Amino acid sequence: MELSNRELSALIWTAAILVYIFFKDKGDNIAKSFKLLVRAFFSPQIMVVVLCAALWIILCLLGLHYVDIWTTANLKTTILWSFAFAFLTLMDVNRISEDNTYFKKTIRDTVNVTAIITFIAEAYSFPLFAELVLFPFLFCVTAMHVMSGKKKEHASVHSLMSGMLVTVGCAYIGYGIYMAATDFEDFATWSNLCEFFIPIILSLLFLPYLYLISILVSYELIWVSLRFALKDASLRRYAMLQATIRFRFDLEGLRRWKRNVGAYPPESREGILNAISEVKKYQKRERSPSNVSPDAGWCPIAATGFLLSENLKTSDYHRTYDDEWWASSTYLTINEESLFSSNIAYYISGDKQAVKRLKLVLNVNNNEDSEVAEARFHQVCEVLFLSSIGDASSEVLERISHGDDIDTEVHGRRVRLRKEAFVNTSRGGYSRTMTIDYSPDCRAPYE
């Protein structure tokens, strides 16, 4: 289990930084915080999950050892994988239970070309002195790259840091490829092949355990939320029992039911069963959406996906207060590197049968981003027109690009656009709201 020069460099610098921090900690504040962190980590709930994860990994390793894929020579790689993947994903298990695409993304990221490039780059390291110099250098460059991306006036520094990171990354990859090519016989061995595939195989084998933990966490959160929503203990137990029986491994349905129970707490067992049936019924409708007459509005399932191509997928279409149904997207950030980036959000609302209104909101949080934000907003508006109306009116789109207020009819739909300046902000900024109503006779306000 020999450490590479790169790994030795990381350990040396980490140890040196920790020693310096604790040496300078005259009031023992850091030491006290560290003790509290350790104590929190060794809480029974966390330790049970971690120990079960360790047992799961050991069983996987025994299976791989049985088929002659894993040996003790791969122990270092296994330990590094355990901290870099298994431990970190367990610490973020709440996000796993809330993100339907987590496992798909994880499999995609685990098995891709980047994994091959990273393995080659990590297979060979520079001499120890060079690695000791590169470690703090890369740390500083990365920190400056992140900080300079927060403000537009630091764009030149950000560009320079980006270039440095790319250059060093290419140097690592180039050096790894060169060494592998000149030492191909020693590189192309069964042990190296196992070193490459073991983290990938372990990641895939660990996913079922993550899925099981995400289910347990989801049900635990359900139980906590029911304690606030349902004051009757017997009704709460009945609700939990029925949710477990009816939803089982359907985490998405379980989340929807929890939301509905929180908004409309049932007062009887019949109400609990009705809340479950409502979620099940709409999930079935999503799988086989019914046709909606153009005169009545838009199909809710279709409307939630009008802006999928623009990364503006909404949540599920669900009941809210006053029996109104709606769905909303997360914010689409215009400039990922800006601290106060402008963003776009998409909303739909209507009744149980059909969507009556589509709403697109642009929030320009910084006037410096306005030109790019307006261009992106214009692009999304055009896609929404094509998806919902079937024709992007050139006249209306031109008025949108000019920032004009609009209240007009397009192919039997009412289209409105308004601009509203933000108040009490030193950065300036404003919002632009476009609504498309199913009928030109609709006189409802924007809200």
If asked whether residues 332 and 421 sit together in one domain, one would say yes
Angle in degrees, CA 97, 102, 103, rounded to 5: 105
If asked whether residues 155 and 50 sit together in one domain, one would say yes
Residue 124 reports pLDDT greater than 60: yes
- 436 touches 413 (CB < 8 A): yes
Quickly tell me which residue has 């007459």 as its tokens: 293
Residue 425 reports pLDDT greater than 60: no
Mean pLDDT calculated for residue range 48-53: 89
Residue 336 reports pLDDT greater than 70: no
Q: How far apart are CA 206 and CA 202, in angstroms?
A: 6
Please indicate, yes or no, if residue 397 is contained in any of the structural domains: yes
If asked whether residues 406 and 346 sit together in one domain, one would say yes
Mean pLDDT calculated for residue range 359-388: 86
Please indicate, yes or no, if residue 432 is contained in any of the structural domains: yes
Please indicate, yes or no, if residue 371 is contained in any of the structural domains: yes
Q: Quick one: pLDDT band at residue 86, thresholds 50, 70, 90?
A: confident
If asked whether residues 186 and 67 sit together in one domain, one would say yes
How many angstroms from the chain centroid is the CA of residue 317? 20
If asked whether residues 310 and 274 sit together in one domain, one would say no
Please indicate, yes or no, if residue 219 is contained in any of the structural domains: no
If asked whether residues 257 and 389 sit together in one domain, one would say no
If asked whether residues 244 and 195 sit together in one domain, one would say no
Q: How far apart are CA 88 and CA 359, in angstroms?
A: 38
If asked whether residues 97 and 237 sit together in one domain, one would say no
Range of the domain at 256: 230-287
Please indicate, yes or no, if residue 308 is contained in any of the structural domains: yes
- 334 touches 368 (CB < 8 A): no
Q: Which of 182, 211, 240 is the last residue of a domain?
A: 211
Q: How many domains does the chain have?
A: 3
Q: Quick one: pLDDT band at residue 231, thresholds 50, 70, 90?
A: confident
